[in-house]
C-alpha cells in the first residue's frame, strides 16, 4: 500500500491571488497565519471624515483613551483603531471558540494582513491628541481656526451659564432652615 502524499498548501502570492477568502483551503489559511495573531489584537472601523468642530473635538477626546488611535488613508478615508485583544484568544495563541467564531473572523482574508501587504497609503496616523491637533493646525488651518473659535464659544457659554450656589444662613433667632439657591 502506497503512502498518501502530504498535501502542501498552495503557494499563493497574497498580492496577486484573486480568489475569495472562503475559497482558501484550511492549510493555506494556516500557512498564511502561522505565528501571527495580529488580527485578533485590534479592531479598526472606518469612520466619516470629521468636518465640524464638534466632530474634530470628538476624535481628540477619543485619543485621550488608552489603546485608541486614528488614521487617514489616501484618498480621504478615516478609521479609528482600537488596540484590544480578543477575549477568546488563548495564551497558546489559538481561538478558544474556533468553529463557532463570528462570521467576520471566518471571512477574514489573511492575504490582506499587513504582515503580507503594506497598509494602504497612510497619510497620517495619530496616537495622541497632540499629534492630531498639530496635524489639524498644519493640514487643515481653516478647520483649526473654527475648532478654536468653537472651543472658546463653548467655554464662554459654559462659564456664563454656571450659577453661583450660595447658602443662606438664618440668623440665630430664626426658625427657618438653611437653603441652597
* Tens of each residue's pLDDT in the chain, 181 residues: 555 544 444 446 666 778 887 778 878 877 888 888 888 899 999 999 999 999 999 999 999 999 999 999 988 899 999 999 999 999 888 888 888 888 888 888 888 887 777 666 899 999 999 999 999 999 999 999 999 999 999 888 766 665 555 555 555 554 444 444 4
Cβ within 8 Å of residue 11, ≥6 positions away: none
What pTM was computed for the model? Answer: 0.69
Q: Which of 97, 111, 102, 94 is closest to 43 using CA atoms?
A: 102
Cβ within 8 Å of residue 59, ≥6 positions away: 50, 70, 80, 132
CB 19 within 8 A of CB 109: no
Q: Which three cell numbers stand for residue 35?
A: 505565528
CA–CA separation, 121 vs 132, rounded Å?
A: 18
End-to-end CA gap in the chain: 96
Amino acid at each position: 500500500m502506497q503512502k498518501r502524499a502530504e498535501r502542501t498548501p498552495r503557494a499563493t502570492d497574497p498580492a496577486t491571488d484573486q480568489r475569495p477568502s472562503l475559497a482558501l483551503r484550511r492549510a493555506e489559511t494556516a500557512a498564511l497565519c502561522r505565528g501571527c495573531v495580529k488580527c485578533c489584537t485590534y479592531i479598526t472601523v472606518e469612520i466619516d471624515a470629521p468636518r465640524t468642530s464638534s466632530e474634530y473635538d470628538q476624535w481628540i477626546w477619543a485619543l485621550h483613551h488608552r489603546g485608541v488611535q486614528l488614521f487617514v488613508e489616501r484618498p480621504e478615508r478615516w478609521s479609528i483603531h482600537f488596540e484590544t485583544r480578543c477575549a477568546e484568544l488563548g495564551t497558546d495563541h489559538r481561538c478558544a471558540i474556533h468553529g463557532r467564531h463570528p462570521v467576520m473572523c471566518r471571512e477574514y482574508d489573511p492575504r490582506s494582513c499587513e504582515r503580507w501587504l503594506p497598509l494602504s497609503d497612510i497619510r497620517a496616523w495619530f496616537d495622541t491628541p497632540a499629534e492630531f491637533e498639530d496635524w489639524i493646525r498644519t493640514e487643515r488651518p481653516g478647520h483649526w481656526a473654527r475648532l478654536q473659535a468653537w472651543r472658546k464659544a463653548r467655554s464662554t457659554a459654559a462659564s456664563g451659564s454656571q450659577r453661583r450656589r450660595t447658602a443662606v444662613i438664618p440668623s440665630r433667632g430664626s426658625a427657618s432652615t438653611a437653603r441652597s439657591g
